Structure 1
Amino acid sequence: MNPSIIPSTLKSRVTRWIALPSLLILLPNYLAFAAITTCPAGYISDEFSNTDYSNLGSTASPPILGVNQLLNGLKSESYIIASNSLITTGNLDAGGSNFYRPKTLAGNLQSFEFFQDFTNKGSSRTASYTFKNSFTNESQALNNVSLSIYDIDVNYIGSTSSGTRYFEFSDQVTITGVTSSGTSVTPTLKYRGTGITTTAPYRQTTTTSSVLCSTDSVDEKCKVSVAFDQPVVRVDVTYGNNPDLNYYDFSNLGNPGDQLINIVFDGYCYLPQPRLTYTKALSTSRKTNTDQFTVQIKDNADNSVVTSGITSVTTTGTNNAVTTGTGTTGTFKVNPTKTYTLTEAVSGSTNLADYTALYACRKSDGTSVSTLDPKNLKLTYGDNWTCTITNGRSNYVFSGTVFNDNGNVLNPSKDDISSKYLNNSLYFNGKYDSPTESGIPFTTGHTITLNKCTGDSGTFSPQTVNIGNDGTYSFSLTPAQVGSYTRLCVTQNEPSNYTYSVDTTSNVLQIDITNSKYNYPSNDFGDVVQENAALVLIKSQYVHDCSLNNLATIGVNYDGSASSAYSTKPISNIIPGQCIAYRIEAINRGNVSLADIVIKDTLQSKNDSNSSLITSTLANPTPIGENSGTPSFATNSVSIGNNGTVTTNSFSLGTTTTTRRQAIRFNTKYGTTISN
């Protein structure tokens, strides 16, 4: 005979449902849905859509689970396939509820409602989510998978006269993942309700009372959120009861009652399906204005035209103009396991034999696809290419962009050596990093000249064009104009009032001409404003009593915190007859090596209006370069005891931590009167 159980106040199987309306009143205070998942560069953040919960869940009991369901997500990438499965350890109560169904929680939050009735406290059930790739039908790893479990609560029923406590249920959940290699991984805990355990299995820590949360609520005290820091191909959520407690359900000792949790996939990351845009351009006028072209992309597997259903692929326009919105496929997704051919067809009486075809593709970051075979085009996940076929009547096209090579540094400063410069790989690197960097707008007199290169013989008619408002320029030449030249040079001509006066590339670029190649893009010129120049000079000083005999013994702290340190702080209370040792450091904060650097520093003299009429002379010890004598000092540098200019020989600065800095030191003495 079952022992008599003394009910706890307002705690019973029925109480679980009676308490719901009162708890629902408190819901607005508990709503705290997950933020958008942060993804690595190039990945997209996504989450299950309402349809995904419906396709994978089931309203039947027992549930009929979704298998190989294409995830809609919120980004419609349409290549991730998900499947559900349920594995039971122990037994389910035949008369109890057995649901795994889509459920809308408070605040319109979609979830999987995992509703079970176990026969004993050792029974559990695991809901598994596996992910595959629809193109390959192989496992697909997802990054930064994060999920939340709601309604992890406990219902205390009462105790026997001997003091044994009984519960209707005490939810516990364990979450694990599986990598592509089959390794089991544990997620990182991101959030837990105050009374929930800090490690798996996650459950309420109380063993003496109830913690009840309303069904369909998002009550934070019954919530756990986790995220995987490794890519996973499967996620397992194992649900059961705390095995350390005793259970009672309608006269059945040891039998937990109906219980549920809600599973929500907060987000995950993956590389997007590759995107391709194919457009038409004309470098010369049409032979006749009725000539029009249709761009096509063919599937190499069966030679089918995959763009046949797109209405904008045929051009309109006259001369060399293509009407905006025509002659383009627009952006569409391609199969990363296939190869494609870029081609074109004609409209009306157009004869392709009258035109040459040049193909060029640029990636989403603005860089050109260096090795391009338009008959064997293959893109992979994360790619987003814009390919252009340029028709011309046997013309050569030379083009490029004059760009601001500032690496998107805002509020530039000529003396700034902070991380926004030193840790910025895009700043001053001589490369056009679009879209982070942009073209420099046109300034009157800013032109580009195409000419033969210095030293080449023959007759070539140079051409000059203005740069566009977006910094671009282009030349179109007939084969007769190019002649037998195997190279040409483009020169940037900067106006005298040009704000971007510091070059990050040479102002003369050589273009090598090869047979059967007509399009020569990406001949780019990099410039920055003076405040964004790569070379930074820092001058600091150390005031002393002229007893110094070794410049290398002085510290190099710039903040003046040590008495024997150089400081960039202004000198005050200098007394004629004292000495000042100087340190000048040259720093390359850019990503291009600098050469032929010369440091010059003119010592103060009575003719210098800023020197208070006191002459400074070079003093012993002999000036030194900090890097084993480098930089060295020129033969015409001021000598000891004289006033003049300290001058170094030319030196270079690299781009690595050990090569981007060089410094010199020299000592000076102030005269004791204004006359010497």
Structure 2
Amino acid sequence: MQESSHTSFKKHTDTQLTLGLAVSTLLFIGMGISSQNVLANPFLPSTTPASTVGSCPAGHKMYYIGANPPAYSPMNSQSLSWTNGNPSRTFTFVEASGNKTFLINFPLLLDLNNNYGGTPPFYGSINGATTSALNLVHNSPDPKTNHSLNISINRPVSKVGYKIQDLDSTVSSRRVPYIEQVDVSANQGQLTFNANFHTINTARDIVKAIEGENCSTGECTIDAAWSYNIADALLNLKHSNELTQRNSPHAVGYSDFYFCLAPPKLIVKKQLDGNRVNDNNNNRDQFSISISNATTPLKTFVTSGSGQAITNDNSGVVDLTTSTTYTITERVTNSQNNGDIANYNAAYTCNNATTGSTTVMPTAAMTYNAAAQTRSFTLSNTTYGDEITCTITNSPSVPLSYTFAGIVFNDNGGITANDSTKQDISATFTGNRSYYNGVFDSNESGIFASGLQIRLTDCSGSNIVSTSPNPQTVSSAAASIGRYSFSVSPSALVGKSRVCLVQTEPSAWEYSEDTTTNTQEVALVANVYDYKTEKDSSGNVTRNLDFGEVKAANTALVLKKSQYVHTCDSALNYSNIANTNQPTTGFSSNPANNVEPGNCIAYKLEAYNRSHVDLNEVKINDSLQRTPVESVFNLPKPLGNPSSVFRSTNTSAPIGENGIIISDGFNLLKTPASSTEPSKATLYFNTKYGSKNINP
């Protein structure tokens, strides 16, 4: 701006400028705005739609905030008002098609000067500088970025912009107090400039005032604009003072804010879930998808490919018109003209990437036209800014075959088996929800071993005839290691309500523990032909055709044994004995040395389930010492916690005899989802250390 000693902000220049306010005094170079491809957005235009400075592309709707709405249609406008000193405000356009919001925010405000109309930012006009603008006035103690301006809109915009008033410099007493600059390079913005007062960089996103060139109201107004951007993207401008030879106030104003919404857009995609019904070189089904309004076809595309593979699988972006009904129709085409869409089941989904839109997505099933052998659905009530994607998925209504597929996998949750962690019951295992859960997770891998086979059976021991090998060795290929797949004709399953997948492990097998059963039973469901592991919306497995394994060091059950040496107290209360370092003072995992014959040793066996599946019918066996000194069971009687671990009817060796302590079969529940503490069960028993040596 300029230097002044008056609140009217009159200009002080060496030569009085007499240029008028007509647009012809400004040199506007072509905008050439580059698109901001923040995301791989299929609706992102490959080229920027043509439009003049400060206007929208033809057919797009403008939303304007300011004092002088342009002659443009369609448009929704409101005035620019502001509370002095507030750093931000959201302007809302209330419409039946959904409210549109425009945020103006100043996250950085430095060196503010309050003497020229109020506390910045403030709305109004500054004599000799700005008109009907949002004004910033700064002191210029040194070169710096003195404010930053962000704008954002809650819709994907085809264009957005505003005017920048009075970007200049001046000379006073042969010194330059300021040289203003604006920079919109952060988000691929573009700027115009006036060659009488400005310079512009090659990228056309930084405009700097020419040293000492001072302009009057309207003489050096420039435009900032951005092309396509996703909803809620922050578009940034930095305003700076580039030179200070003396401190002086300068001002800049922002006005005529606007954004543009493109007409509604649609992409239709095609997918296949299963192979084509007709699929040979002489007669192969393809799918023709058309988009039309009541009278005119807009776009038709025909797929290519074979089997389940689809190429040329989408319509590309199709521009729609607001308040119009569109019909999306699909038909089957082939060289023998015997294609009927009724040969395929059909499902579709339509989603609008623009949140807040009142456009109603279609939900009714596709309508079948028997005469035309087509299916269709309609889409209506679209509005500006809509970005709608509809995907049609087909599967053969008459199956070509049943498939049963799964994987044999290492259910280790990504934890390498290591003897050093065999007894680890910490969150490394209990907090890893993928470890030992019976489910193939993304951090786990398949297993291959020679002789590792899967059979498809009738659940009575007989193999089912399939078009793939049965039994079959799991895949050894790197991309599909551990996987198997059976293909079965419908005739082979006539009269069967279930099948079983049976895993056969090789004789030399390093995976000592199963996390799933070796037989997976599958109930056959009417009109379901593809069977694989499936989960519900909550992530719970509803069908499992996979086989989980772990190595010995990654076993679920962890047993810990400790001992307490005492003088044969037959009334000993096991649960009152503390855990200590010395076995003579409490239960300890350290060895008991120099135990005198005739003394007693109480034992505590703790069983932990560090996994994420329940362990059923766990049994603990422990043989008493016979050599070189014999031990016998002694009172008090063994005790289990919970009581199901050891009952009074237990068949372990009796008190006073040497033998084996055997727990009852008990269950250890999986580690709770809300905790990293493993489930635990405890078995206590007491022994008397013998008084005589026994030959081995």
Task: Name the TM-score, length of structure 2 as normaliser.
Answer: 0.51
Give the C-alpha shift of residue 571 in structure 1. Answer: 0.9
Distance 1:431 1:305 in 2: 49
Instruction: Identify which range, 647-656 or 291-300, moves more after superposition.
Output: 291-300
Deviation per CA, 1:347-401: give whole Å up to 9, x if none.
323745799757899xxxxxxxxxx9899999xx9x9999784698742222233
Larger radius of gyration: 2
Aligned-partner residue type, residue 530 of structure 1: K
- Residues 572, 393 of structure 1: alpha-carbon distance in 2 compared, 3 angstrom cutoff: closer
Give the C-alpha shift of residue 587 in structure 1. Answer: 1.7
Distance 2:398 2:516 in 1: 30
Deviation per CA, 1:99-151: give whole Å up to 9, x if none.
xxxxxxxxxxxxxxxxxxx9xxx93254446899x99856799xxx9x99557
Give the C-alpha shift of residue 595 in structure 1. Answer: 0.8
Aligned-partner residue type, residue 638 of structure 1: A
- Residues 421, 290 of structure 1: alpha-carbon distance in 2 compared, 3 angstrom cutoff: farther
Distance 1:550 1:124 in 2: 76
Aligned-partner residue type, residue 591 of structure 2: I
Residue 527 of structure 1 is matched in structure 2 by 548
- Partner of residue 85 from structure 2, selected from 124, 143, 147: 124
Aligned-partner residue type, residue 73 of structure 1: V
The 3-state SS of whatever aligns with 2:492 is helix
Is 1:437 the counterpart of 2:430? The answer is no
Q: Is the 8 A contact 1:576 1:673 kept in 2?
A: no
- Partner of residue 452 from structure 1, selected from 455, 458, 463: 458
Distance 1:333 1:504 in 2: 48
Give the C-alpha shift of residue 649 in structure 1. Answer: 0.8
- Partner of residue 551 from structure 1, selected from 574, 580, 585: 574
Distance 2:603 2:588 in 1: 9
- Partner of residue 73 from structure 1, selected from 11, 31, 38: 38
Distance 1:555 1:575 in 2: 20
Aligned-partner residue type, residue 679 of structure 2: R
Residue 490 of structure 1 is matched in structure 2 by 501
Give the C-alpha shift of residue 600 in structure 1. Answer: 0.9
Distance 1:461 1:499 in 2: 31
Distance 1:639 1:420 in 2: 41
Distance 1:500 1:306 in 2: 60
Q: Is the 8 A contact 2:411 2:515 kept in 1?
A: yes
Q: Is the 8 A contact 2:634 2:688 kept in 1?
A: yes
- Partner of residue 473 from structure 1, selected from 457, 481, 484: 484
- Partner of residue 665 from structure 2, selected from 638, 650, 654: 650
Summarize the alignment of residues 75-474 of structure 1 with structure 2, pairs less than 5 Å apart: 75-76=40-41, 123-128=84-89, 137=98, 149=107, 152=110, 168=139, 257-258=250-251, 278-279=271-272, 281-282=274-275, 288-294=280-286, 309=301, 313-316=303-306, 327=311, 329=313, 345-349=332-336, 351-352=338-339, 389=395, 394-411=400-417, 413-433=421-441, 435-438=442-445, 440-454=446-460, 461=465, 463-468=470-475, 469=477, 470=480, 471-474=482-485
Give the C-alpha shift of residue 436 in structure 1. Answer: 3.4
The 3-state SS of whatever aligns with 1:329 is coil
- Residues 76, 461 of structure 1: alpha-carbon distance in 2 compared, 3 angstrom cutoff: closer
- Partner of residue 593 from structure 2, selected from 560, 563, 573: 573
Q: Is the 8 A contact 1:294 1:327 kept in 2?
A: no
Give the C-alpha shift of residue 508 in structure 1. Answer: 1.8
Aligned-partner residue type, residue 123 of structure 1: N
The 3-state SS of whatever aligns with 2:575 is helix
Is 1:503 the counterpart of 2:514? The answer is yes
Give the C-alpha shift of residue 598 in structure 1. Answer: 0.6
Give the C-alpha shift of residue 625 in structure 1. Answer: 0.9
Residue 205 of structure 2 is matched in structure 1 by none
Q: Is the 8 A contact 1:599 1:648 kept in 2?
A: yes
Distance 2:591 2:458 in 1: 56
Aligned-partner residue type, residue 443 of structure 2: T
Residue 595 of structure 1 is matched in structure 2 by 616
Q: Is the 8 A contact 1:491 1:508 kept in 2?
A: yes
Q: Is the 8 A contact 1:397 1:477 kept in 2?
A: yes
Deviation per CA, 1:215-242: give whole Å up to 9, x if none.
889xxxxxxxxxxxxxx989999x9xxx
Is 1:670 the counterpart of 2:685? The answer is no
Q: Is the 8 A contact 2:408 2:549 kept in 1?
A: no
Q: Is the 8 A contact 1:126 1:236 kept in 2?
A: no
The 3-state SS of whatever aligns with 2:629 is coil
Distance 1:547 1:571 in 2: 18
Residue 542 of structure 1 is matched in structure 2 by 563
Note the residue ranges of structure 2 that are not aligned, 5 or more in a row: 6-24, 27-33, 45-59, 68-81, 116-137, 155-177, 184-230, 239-245, 255-265, 320-324, 349-363, 367-374, 379-386, 534-543
Note the residue ranges of structure 1 that are not aligned, 5 or more in a row: 6-59, 62-68, 89-117, 158-166, 180-211, 218-231, 240-247, 251-255, 262-272, 362-371, 607-612
Q: Is the 8 A contact 1:503 1:527 kept in 2?
A: yes
Distance 1:665 1:274 in 2: 69
**RMSD of the alignment, in Å?**
6.4
Give the C-alpha shift of residue 647 in structure 1. Answer: 0.5
Q: Is the 8 A contact 1:87 1:125 kept in 2?
A: no
- Residues 394, 77 of structure 1: alpha-carbon distance in 2 compared, 3 angstrom cutoff: closer
- Residues 521, 544 of structure 1: alpha-carbon distance in 2 compared, 3 angstrom cutoff: closer
Q: Is the 8 A contact 1:279 1:327 kept in 2?
A: no
Q: Is the 8 A contact 1:542 1:581 kept in 2?
A: yes
Aligned length: 468
- Partner of residue 680 from structure 2, selected from 645, 649, 661: 661
The 3-state SS of whatever aligns with 2:491 is helix
Give the C-alpha shift of residue 84 in structure 1. Answer: 10
Give the C-alpha shift of residue 527 in structure 1. Answer: 1.3
The 3-state SS of whatever aligns with 2:656 is coil
Deviation per CA, 1:242-299: give whole Å up to 9, x if none.
xxxxxx986xxxxx654899xxxxxxxxxxx999883465499x77443333357788
Distance 1:493 1:153 in 2: 78
Give the C-alpha shift of residue 494 in structure 1. Answer: 1.9
Deviation per CA, 1:33-66: give whole Å up to 9, x if none.
xxxxxxxxxxxxxxxxxxxxxxxxxxx99xxxxx
Q: Is the 8 A contact 2:501 2:545 kept in 1?
A: no
